[in-house]
Chain A
């Protein structure tokens, strides 16, 4: 029994869709759990202690001393990498492997820093960078 043209359409479309995405790589790397402003909204400078913060967020990645107190830093990373190799389109027809690759990486590094006084009370808090988060976008130009 022959397949009708309308029956072939989904197969053709799925194959075209597949070929369009030939040679795609999508990679994501996360270090620790990225913090958002909502996660740290409970911190009230002058009232919240470092112990309160540790109870909710866990231990910081580093604690260092400054002239005005103690600095606790939570580091995190959310890297997104995407890559398309259009050279794969020529693979069935070309005797050599040709590559036409576009890729883009968004590192998405950030840190949340707390400055505490000598009694471990948080006096200042801020994110190192104010990132909206990288996107999967292989277009590099």
Chain B
């Protein structure tokens, strides 16, 4: 009986000491890369002008292997904080979406590479482990 009373005491004391609040924050950089716009880009047929009308001006213009590469990117950050009186845990997770459109010397799309890492981005609080 005394065990349950002491256990209840621990829970009550711990709750009073520990419970305070939590916080969610989010930050983004750049516009979302729409999958339907990327799907509309066809290899060997879509032109540079069409790419620009679909996606707008690239965030970065590169010249690689004699080809123009349009790079579009977007970053998403999610912050979860567990705010306790005695100890605070925070976890900031940042991931980016990158789209590379490779154009040949005639200005025709040669390849499209898209990676959407932000789709699986979650709010996390626990800073330990993976």
Chain A residues at the B interface, C-beta cutoff of 8 Å: 1, 3-4, 6-11, 14-15, 18-19, 21-33, 54, 58-65, 69-70, 77, 80, 118, 120, 136
Q: Does more than half of chain A's interface fall in helix, strand or loop, or is it mixed?
A: mixed
Please tell me which one of the listed residues A30, A54, A65, A69 contacts residue B93 in the complex, with CB atoms under 8 A apart: A30
Given contacts A7-B6, A14-B14, A30-B94, contact A59 B100 (CB under 8 A): yes
User: Could you say which interface size class chain B belongs to?
Assistant: 35 or more
CB pair B86 A22 closer than 8 Å: yes
Q: Are A8 and B6 in contact (CB under 8 A)?
A: yes
- If A7-B9, A10-B7 are given as contacts, then 19 extra A-B residue pairs at C-beta distance below 8 Å, sorted by A number, are A1-B5, A3-B2, A3-B6, A3-B9, A11-B9, A23-B86, A25-B90, A26-B127, A27-B89, A27-B90, A27-B127, A28-B127, A28-B128, A31-B94, A58-B117, A59-B115, A64-B62, A65-B65, A118-B65
Decide if the interface of chain B is mainly helix, strand, loop or mixed: strand
B41 part of interface (Cβ distance < 8 Å): no
Which residues does B use to contact A, with CB under 8 Å? Answer: 2-3, 5-7, 9-10, 13-14, 17-18, 62-65, 69, 71, 86-96, 98-100, 113-115, 117, 127-128
Give the chain A neighbours of B98 by CB distance below 8 A.
Answer: 58-61
Q: Nearest chain A CB to B52's CB is how many angstroms away?
A: 19
Given A11-B6, A32-B94, A80-B127, A26–B89 Cβ distance below 8 Å? yes
Chain B residues near A7 (CB, 8 Å)? 2-3, 5-6, 9
What residues of chain A lie closer than 8 Å to B17, measured between beta carbons? 15, 18
